Chains A and B, each alone.
Chain A
Amino acid sequence: MLSYVGRRLALGLFTVWAVSVLSFLIIQLPQGDFVTTHMTELADSGNSSAVYEAERLRAEYGLDQPIFVQYFDWIGGVVRGEFGMSFDWNRPVADVIGDRLVLSMVVSVAAIIFTWAVALPIGVYSAVRRYSIGDYTLTFLGFLGLAVPNFLLALVLMYIGFAVFGTDVGGLFSAPYENAGWSFAKAWDLLKHLVIPAIVLGTAGAAQLIRIMRANLLDELRKPYVITARAKGLPERRVVTKYPVRVALNPFASSIGFLFPQMVSGSIVVSIVLSLPTVGPLLLRALQAQDMFLAGAIVLLLGVMTVIGTLVSDLVLMWLDPRIRHAT
């Protein structure tokens, strides 16, 4: 059991390291460095001391150092919580990101909760009433949910909300709460606004889970113990819920491993479409403005959060499923 935890932790750390290298790559890839961009601006405005200024800035930010020295400088700063400066905003990256990262995670978690809440009853229903009209309809809807890319779903929902109901479904807060401090009313407002993003993000995952749940439960329902239970006269509802559903439930917990990265990933584009105050729109703007420290920090933080989320779900799964706990 300890070795399992150890292996998971090691893999998590390795992933974090890989993400950090990739994020650094994203910072480094664009031609020239931010000083070049900055200098062009200065030269455009007729500043003659640009060359001297460039040398000074390069030295200050260590851009004249070899690449791996730069990487260690950067990662060392990250560990201390310093992500560098955002040149677009002219503020430290950590300030710019602020609580947007938390909101990104809130959106992703809400989407996962939605996914489970929808997939469990529908999966059970589809398995128990196999080949019924309801099963076919839900399976088809599931396929459709899987096929519609979530940002297109967001686009269409935005359009329907706007054209039919005359409301703007975007955003995470109503206007009065936007800059207000946290309060119960604000949290409630957030909750109401989370519904649309959760549906948009969760539909595809729910469709996947419904199919897994249905297949697992069908396998389970064929087993002799179910027939025995039924033969002994147990009410059908109890026959299904007492054991088969619980056994078939395991993939739900393990699904976090693939759901979470998917949700975080999807939340970026969906946030841009629905203009949610998460890191999504920030990342897009940073990339467009070549504000690479900000972009790199966002990619890194999203990766780290995903790894932590997956790790936690692995541990929960271990706690739930004795087969994993006792495997060596």
Chain B
Amino acid sequence: MPRDAVVDEERISVASQRQLIWWRFRKHRLAMAGAIIVLFFYFVALFGDFLSTSDPQASEGQRSLMPPQAVHLFEGASLSPHVYAVVGQRDPDTLQRSYAVDPTRRIPVRLFAHGYEYKFLGLFTTDIHLIGTEGTPAERSLFLLGTDQQGRDIYSRLVLATRTSMLIGLTGVALSIVFGVTLGGISGYYGGVVDTVIQRVIEVLRSIPVIPLWMGLAAAMPKDWSVTQVYFALTVILSVIGWTELGRVVRGRMMQIRREDFVTAAELVGSRPRRVIFVHMVPLFASHIIAATTLALPLMIVAETSLSFLGLGLRPPSISWGVMLQQAQNVQAVALSPWMLVPVIPVVVVILAFNFLGDGLRDAADPYDL
């Protein structure tokens, strides 16, 4: 055996489980890329206000459906980013609004500019934004991805929608974990009648078309509920059905280790079932739970997006990818202003990233099994 291989072997035999998982995961290139993209999205979610340029609710009929603006980086040979003012006019015959660039009015764009006020991470009030304009407020001059029907800046809305959409996935999955681990744990630990009942429930939930069910439950939310109430009701609705996959994973693992000596030992010293399940057994396959969670997250995000898109999920003034896409329901409108489809891109990218990440985690979750 060559020397390197021997060293490797020794390194592996003394490594902790966490290290083994990390080494295994690192080899999976797509999963690493997925992890970086997911982290980036959560970063955007966290610093959304700082990254946005305009107040996402600031609307203006005069700027309805403006196309994306070009940012010019150079002035001659020197670096001086700027945009040109855009003038809107209405065609007197067709009443169609059209926009023309006014090359005489140059608006400088700079980093760390002053804009609308917000609370940075909920800590202190500031008006510094990553990108902004000088002279005129960004709400009137800077539209990186164009504007929607109400003349609101799509870029800023997209950045803030990322927060809502990414977080609804997290809260929904957190609830699913509670349901899934508890019910799956009970099912796998006790077996017998309890197991049969829970398994049948899972089978039933999986064989029902979920979207009509979600739609029905979501539509039952009273119209006068506040944004927060709707948000939490929606996460509950999503997780009521979303826990089944996790439940199955947990049950399978529980069954595998149910007869292990350490479980019997814990029972013999008089631990109650709840302690045996949550303190002795669940931590053993925590990595599997994390992997299953990662694969469940994109489903939650898609569900929220579809429901909001249909007008049954989150409602304005909340901003999520689905709420933004609601305006893109009409083909004719989209054909005239295709930039309204922009929210499709983050949805697809984040789902792809979560899937790669989840696949990698699932492979790495069991580093001993080769």
Interface of A with B (CB < 8 Å)?
Answer: 11, 14-15, 18-19, 22-23, 26, 29-31, 143-144, 146-149, 151-152, 155-156, 158-159, 162-163, 168, 170, 257-258, 261-262, 264-266, 268-269, 272-273, 283-284, 287-288, 290, 295-296, 298-299, 302-303, 306-307, 310
Contacts and interface: CB of A to CB of B under 8 A. Distances in A.
Interface stretch (B1-9, B15-23, B262-270, B308-316): B308-316
A295 B220 CA distance: 11
Nearest to A146: B355
Interface string B169-211: 0000000000000000000000000000000100110111111
A266 B211 contact: yes
Contacts of A272: 310
Contacts of A262: 209
Q: When A and B form their complex, which 4 residue pairs have the shortest distance between CB atoms, in order from nearest? A: A29-B220, A26-B216, A287-B219, A265-B209
B144 interface: no
A143 B355 contact: yes
Nearest to B334: A159
Contacts of A163: 335, 338
Contact of B212 (A14, A144, A302): A302
A302 B209 contact: yes
Given A15-B204, A31-B222, 15 more contacts: A26-B217, A26-B220, A144-B352, A147-B298, A149-B347, A155-B325, A162-B331, A261-B207, A261-B208, A265-B210, A269-B309, A269-B310, A273-B329, A284-B310, A302-B212
B216 A295 contact: yes
Given A162-B331, A269-B306, A303 B209 contact: yes
A162 B335 CA distance: 7
A14 B208 CA distance: 12
Interface residues of B, number: 41
Interface in B77-110: none
A168 B210 CA distance: 29
A147 B355 contact: yes
B348 A148 contact: yes
A307 B209 CA distance: 10
Dominant secondary structure of chain A at its interface with chain B: helix
A307 B208 CA distance: 8
A265 B241 CA distance: 13
A22 B205 CA distance: 11
B221 to A, nearest CB: 9
A22 B208 CA distance: 10
A269 B329 CA distance: 11
Contacts of B32: none
Contacts of A14: 200, 204
B70 interface: no
B310 to A, nearest CB: 6
Contacts of A264: 209
B208 to A, nearest CB: 5
B249 interface: no
A102 B93 CA distance: 46
